Amino acid sequence: VKVKEIIDPADKVLTIAHRGASGYAPENTIPAIELAIEMQADYIELDIHLTKDKIPVVIHDETVNRTTGSRGYVRNLTLEQIKQLDAGSWFNEAYPMFAREQYAGITIPTLDEVFETFGDKTRYMIEIKEPGSNSQIEALLNEAIEKYKLEDVVSVHSFSSASLRKLHAINPEIPLYQLVWNDYTTARVPASYLENVKTYAVGISPNFQGIGAAFVAQVKNAGLKVMPYTVNYQVNMDKAYLWGVDGVYTNYPDRFQEVIDTN
Ligand code: G3P
Ligand code: CA
């Protein structure tokens, strides 16, 4: 495969800490972000949903069930209710080898809290989850970016092209990545699709299992960045690196740093 000959070498292959360093600490929490920064991740990936009172909070699922031991949809809970929940104990139970006493009782952070705590000490890749056609989440995200003056360090991604287009219309300066799911590694995307994505986004983030060298080359040759998720094993990190991806999302940012250092 003559991939190396037809793609530009990436300036820097980015390590994106998926939900923070979520292999080692409770996902989408302040300790997971702290750890990812310690591990020198280039970006912190975080998922956001809106509470009932329209506050962006950092949580992956649309319910609080899996990560708090409580029950309910985020959109049906107020921030005050969300803040009563324990977002760390589930991790200690599920991953005893990485459990820490201080994780018990930590709360689901608001986006503001994250931006206020870490500011421009790191870069962020924020995922807009399940936006809904009338959601205010895009405008509220842009407000938070502007409030904390983080225009230079925040990128945004989503499976929803409608949501990305909406944010692009609000603020065309924010770098956007289209999340996609491919079924087959041999999949090639229609050139017209890539041209369309280029009207609002700077890159594509596909599932690692659904891509190969040809896909990476095609997307890069179209002038888009390509950053697969979620790459947790070294053997796959090596492959992705060799294909010439621009970055990977991983729960183990330290592992990908090693791959970069040894290649
Ligand atoms: O952010 C890339 C990847 O996170 C998309 O999948 O389910 O982990 O949010 P998910
Ligand atoms: Ca995500």
Residues of the chain with pLDDT under 50: 1-10
Ligand 1 atom nearest 249 alpha carbon = 2
Q: What residues are neighbours of ligand 2 (ion), with CB under 5 Å? A: 47, 127
What is the CA(248)–ligand 2 centre distance, in A? 12
- For the domain 3-262, what is the CATH superfamily, name and number? Phosphatidylinositol (PI) phosphodiesterase (3.20.20.190)
Type of residue found at 191:
A
What is the CA(215)–ligand 2 centre distance, in A? 21
Q: Residue 18 catalytic?
A: yes
pLDDT digits (tens, 9 = 90+) for 38-47: 999 999 999 9
What is the ipTM, given to two decimal places?
Answer: 0.96
**Domains of the chain by residue range:** 3-262
What is the CA(49)–ligand 1 centre distance, in A? 13
Residue nearest to atom 6 of ligand 1 (CA): 229
**Considering the entire predicted model, what is its pTM?**
0.94
pLDDT digits (tens, 9 = 90+) for 54-113: 999 999 999 999 999 999 999 999 999 999 999 999 999 999 999 999 999 999 999 999
